[in-house]
Chains A and B, each alone.
Chain A
């Protein structure tokens, strides 16, 4: 169908530029990042489980922190990226859907990373505190953050055109920026008044020795690379999904137009020239 290209270009030039013309979402750049990320993760496994020593107080469970801490940092970074991309979409003149896709992809990765953080954090808590969960301010905020962004992702799937989705989720992404600090502030106030003695210091890194600190550093590098790699692939696959819907629309349009032409020629009353006029633009 020759109609696809001009129609698409006319409709959204920004979408075109954001899209590699090949079938895969991988490029040379992402392959390199991917390989480096895998190497860094292997390095993290080696340092986290092998080279770094066990902690004096936390014993072997300290090794969990090499995943726990980097994932939550990256999750925060991901949500910041979501907020900034949302703002860029809302306030930039060009309303490029690329910003919307970046916001969505980053939120998806952020939610996944928070889930990892919460899961390994619960394991660590069980080993160190004896319980899976503490109503500590930071834990509580993290849990609410998790649910808030699950809600954000649910709103992204509400339907409508790409522009509607983008606008709606960008506004919600901005609301979350107001919501999260308020939630954190109130939860902190809530906990500070309780003075619970059992609340442990999550900052295990304050009394870390050099090798532990280095292992954590490796973890941050590895997960940052993973984040970048996931971001690139996810935004590209989202761009392709959008394009697929566009192409689906082109095909559906062609089908509909053919249907109209048939009906019109079948009906003797309608002059064939009239149908030619409306059909000729394709």
Chain B
């Protein structure tokens, strides 16, 4: 697959350190952000990923389709540097996931089944906490909150009291405040109302335009499909790229 590209020759390329998502043009290589080859990952003894090969360019929004248990969540967690690569080769933003997955982490943001929020703190306190751990300014934090529509009245509400969609948006605001370049979203539409979904889609589109690379695992195909630049079927721990679409990205 993708024989014309040799993603692993660029493993030593320096990662794009630019803190702001929208300002990524100084990356010299062909903007290859995610490159996995025959990646196997295990949960316990179960091969959740049974040889995934996939490449993603900068600014793409890739939809991961597939039934429950196909390995979508595991794939996202692996890309976030949370799971070791058992076999195969993988680079993200030029970092080798096999040997330096700790270094990948600051540049990616994962929104999983859990939001990673402190339930007893308010929206503002959560976004501030996550933003300030990476040294974001007050301005950036406020910007992240207003972009995700959790500023204003919601800002001082405790996260425990929020609806699922509001929690999701708070979590995304934390990602923005953290200046993640690769967004790994697991069922981001779940629990959002129609307006929330539109807002989320608009945000994702905007983030992709400004250089963020987005992987979305979703059941809601018609919803996420309209947004995505291409889709990948994940079946039984393997990625099956829809061939005609994948050609288009090269």
Q: Are B47 and A253 interface neighbours, CB within 8 A?
A: yes
| Contact B236–A275 (Cβ < 8 Å) | no
Stretch at the interface among B13-21, B38-46, B105-113, B213-221: B38-46
Given A264-B235, A277-B1, A253 contacting B243 (CB threshold 8 A): no
B238 contacts the other chain (CB 8 A)? yes
**In angstroms, how far is the closest chain B Cβ from the Cβ of A154?**
18
A278 & B53 in contact (Cβ 8 Å cutoff): yes
User: Who on chain B is nearest to A250 by CB?
Assistant: B47
Specify the main secondary structure of chain B where it touches its partner. strand
Q: Is there a chain B Cβ closer than 8 Å to A252's Cβ?
A: yes
B239: which A residues are within 8 A, CB to CB? 278
The interface bits of chain B over 232-247 (1 if a CB of A lies within 8 angstroms of the residue's CB, else 0) are 0101111111110000
A11 at the interface (CB under 8 A from B): yes
Residues in chain B near residue A274, CB distance under 8 A: 240-243
Q: How many A-B contacts if CB must be within 8 Å?
A: 71
Residues of chain B lying within 8 A (CB to CB) of residue A281: 38, 51
- Give Cα distance in the complex from A278 to B239, angstroms: 8
CB distance from B85 to the nearest CB of A (A): 10
> In the complex where A274-B243, A278-B51 touch, is A260 in contact with B87 (Cβ < 8 A)?
no
Interface hit among A22-30, A158-166, A228-236: A158-166
Question: 0/1 per residue, A1-27, Cβ < 8 Å to B?
Answer: 000000100110000000000000000
14 sampled A-B residue pairs with Cβ under 8 A:
A245-B45, A248-B45, A249-B40, A249-B42, A256-B237, A256-B238, A257-B50, A257-B236, A264-B233, A264-B240, A274-B241, A274-B243, A275-B240, A282-B51
Given A252-B47, A279-B238; 12 other pairs, CB 8 A cutoff: A11-B87, A161-B84, A164-B84, A257-B51, A257-B237, A260-B236, A260-B240, A263-B236, A270-B233, A275-B240, A278-B1, A281-B51
